[in-house]
Amino acid sequence: MNIIKRSGVETSFDVEKIVDAIRKANDSVKESEKLSEKEIEAIADKVERNCREMSRSASVEEIQDMVENQLMKYQAYSMARNYITYRYKRQLVRKSNSTDEQILSLLECNNEEVKQENSNKNPTVNSVQRDYMAGEVSKDITKRFLLPADVVDAHEKGIIHFHDADYFAQHMHNCCLVNLEDMLQNGTVISETMIEKPKSFSTACNIATQSIAQIASSQYGGQSISLAHLAPFVQISREKLRKQVRAEMEAIGKSMTEKEINDVAEIRVREEINRGVQMIQYQVITLMTTNGQAPFVTVFMYLGEVPEGQTKDDLALIIEEMLNQRILGVKNEKGVYITPAFPKLIYVLEEDNIRKGSKYWYLTELAAKCTAKRMVPDYISEKIMKKLKQGNCYTCMGCRSFLTVYKDENDKFKFYGRFNQGVVTLNLVDVACSSERDMNRFWEILDERLDLCRRALMCRHDRLKGTPSDVAPILWQHGALARLKKGETIDKLLYNGYSTISLGYAGLCECTRYMTGKSHTDPEGTPFALEVMQRLNDACAKWREETKIDFSIYGTPLESTTYKFAKALQKRFGIIPGVTDKNYITNSYHVHVTEQIDAFEKLKFESQFQALSPGGAISYVEVPNMENNLEAVLSVMQYIYDNIMYAELNTKSDYCQQCGYTGEIQIITDSHGKLVWECPNCGNRDQDKMNVARRTCGYIGTQFWNQGRTQEIKERVLHL
């Protein structure tokens, strides 16, 4: 059994240290108030049993809380007071150098919490360590100077989560939809170098990937690009290649008909599309941004974004190549093809591709094959999205964040070139438990917590106000998001719907269970869950009216925070069956991962919550290996088209470098009670010698996860 020290380092549990601490406290009181040696050992034994029952590594703070509780049970009040006073004094001492300890522990690669904080960042790499080190300083400054004390306190207690505090000290926003069309058609500037309109498809792809890297280093969240913005450059290459072929034939004195010239040129066009798509895939994977990870980029594949004709046919060619290359995968260090995390792919289901016999059905079949093999693409239903978004269909940013519908000064819908200011997430489970099942009190507490979230979100907004465009020229001056002048602030882009700011939420499932005694999938629990969602939407509408800032409800993709929230709930409220008895809480509105429900019922049920989560939502179904059952995959895709806006299928795609096993790497409990990954074929448990890919928050992670998220992955039931 292990414990987690304050620095984040995980070490072996030693009950003698608890006994020693109690003895020291015992020595501090007069003889008549002392505990016997037998009582001291009984307290230590009880604490040890409590730690073992947690099914995870307890923190030092949690163990000290247990000691305090036991001292009070033995009515050792003076001793407990001295123990608490000692803890407080030590806390004051530690506060002065806690940042130093955190930084040193991550530099030595022994901080377990940091090592598993982000499933796509390798904490042993220098660039990641540099980012984490800067992040620790930023968090320290943020907590001590930049945020109100009650917001910091609520964040520390897991009542809310103030996302990305490690970047808050800088004037940076969250995520965006890149206006690649503007950058390519009108030129851009990268690293003070003028980039003119490209004269070929492959050059356009190269500019796109260079832009992606620069953008990723200027913000902390994900970005999305559309293949529709690259499609016009296929025709430019086609015309260029036709001239080349004609000139080559004339040079060698060979006569060819126009059709023959075009046929040869078309072969070369296909080759260029292959090279361009390969450039996007490999550069995105191999580029390293300043925060030490590959750019968190989403590629949008929507035939309906371009008009009928040659451009649409060319877009179909690009999509086909993108899917084929993703099916192939990328080679790991052993030369074996594996599933990469990025770029994430989104494929839009529409009338032209959803039924057998439709014009682009072959692309949908290819998408199904890709999903079965590599977990992507995810799927947006054009039909459902248009119903929810005023007739529009557009991509989300990164894991699930959707912009609100917006019209520019010319009364035209605009999505690309817009962004999200940031996120604060409300722990709904804490609201419920704090109410002690008093429904009136629940709504009062929810309103209080919403006011807290509003003030925290305004801190995010105010931090961006006054930001000069010069801090990230590619974003604000050279077309990725805007064409502002040097020295001009980004303030006008923060209001009236141009950008959004997100009220996140988590644990609707457990919140409903606590307040109603039923799952939110139960007809007796669903109305309450929907009422909670409506209350969040009403709050955002009120704030929007008051501030002219586009507040929006966002189904938070908790990663490491799911563990943090779970630990905080257990500390505040103890173990409540079905509510706080896991080391994770459920993301957003999702059905609990252990609940038995079939794929179609799950998607249909969750669709009503997507409508109430306009700032971001995604649903998934957990499936086994589907490579030999593509008909079932296609059936789920068709159901998505008719019933839900945005969904995905979670398959498994792993590889053991030790023995060459390809299949599902298992999660088992080791002798210390810790969840570890193990190859079912050879027993390999070395994470450095296996490739595991799991979708955890709407995107694929490949660097493993903390104990809470690992437990959630282990307990997922199949929906198909």
Residue 645 to residue 695: CA distance in whole angstroms: 19
- Active-site entry in 505, 554, 646, 655: 554
- Contact between 676 and 670 under an 8 Å Cβ cutoff? The reply is yes
- Measured CA to CA, the distance from residue 343 to residue 227 in angstroms comes to 12
3-state secondary structure of 22: helix
CB 353 within 8 A of CB 360: yes
Q: Tell me, yes or no, if 396 is annotated catalytic.
A: no
Residue 251's Cβ-count burial label (10 Å; 0-12, 13-18, 19+) is: exposed
Contacts of 82 (CB under 8 A, 6+ apart): 25, 28, 29
Query: Would strands 193-195 and 223-226 be described as parallel, antiparallel, or unpaired?
Result: unpaired
Alpha helices in 15-159 (DSSP H): 15-27, 37-53, 60-73, 77-95, 98-107, 112-115, 126-141, 149-156
Which residues make Cβ contacts (< 8 Å) with residue 87, sequence separation at least 6?
64
Q: Evaluate the CA torsion angle 57, 60, 61, 63 in order and state its sign.
A: positive
In contact, 339 and 700? CB cutoff 8 Å: yes
DSSP string, 192-230: TEEEPPPSSHHHHHHHHHHHHHHHHTT-SS-EEEEGGGT
Q: Which residue of the set 172, 175, 375, 540 is catalytic?
A: 175
401 is catalytic: yes
User: What tokens appear for 456 in the block?
Assistant: 């925290």
CA-CA-CA-CA torsion for 179, 182, 187, 188, nearest 10 degrees? -30
User: Catalytic pick from 82, 224, 401, 588?
Assistant: 401
Q: Residue 540: in which H helix or E strand, if any?
A: helix 526-547
Residues 348, 352, 358, 360: what is their CA dihedral angle, to the nearest 10 degrees? -60
Separation CA 342–CA 701 (nearest Å) = 9
Let me know if 397 is a catalytic residue: yes
Marked catalytic residue, from 174, 218, 560, 653:
174
Among 415, 397, 396, 395, which Cα is nearest to 405's? 415
| Parallel, antiparallel or unpaired: strands 646-650 and 619-622 | parallel
Three-state DSSP class for 528?
A: helix
How far apart CA 69 and CA 9 sit, in angstroms, is 25
Rounded Cα distance, 621 and 636, in Å:
9
Whether 610 contacts 645, CB under 8 Å: yes
Q: Is 174 a catalytic residue?
A: yes
Q: Of 138, 420, 427, 519, which is the active-site residue?
A: 420
Determine which helix (DSSP H) or strand (DSSP E) holds 678, and give its type and residue range: strand 675-678
Burial of 416 (0-12, 13-18, 19+ CB in 10 A): buried
Backbone φ and ψ for 515, nearest 5 degrees, come out as: -80, -30
Query: Cis peptide leading into 148, omega within 30 of 0?
Result: no
Respond yes or no: is residue 175 known to be catalytic. yes
Any catalytic annotation for residue 559?
Answer: yes
- 597-600 contacts: CB < 8 A, separation 24 or more? 597/521, 597/719, 598/719, 598/720, 599/623, 599/636, 599/639, 599/719, 599/720, 600/636, 600/639
Assign 3-state DSSP to the chain and report helix, strand, coil percentages, each to 5.
50, 15, 35
Note the residue count of the chain.
720
The residues near 646 (Cβ < 8 Å, ≥ 6 apart) are 378, 379, 380, 381, 385, 396, 400, 610, 617, 618, 619
Q: Across the strands, what pairs with 677?
A: 667
Return the active site residues.
Answer: 174-175, 397, 399, 401, 420, 554, 559, 698
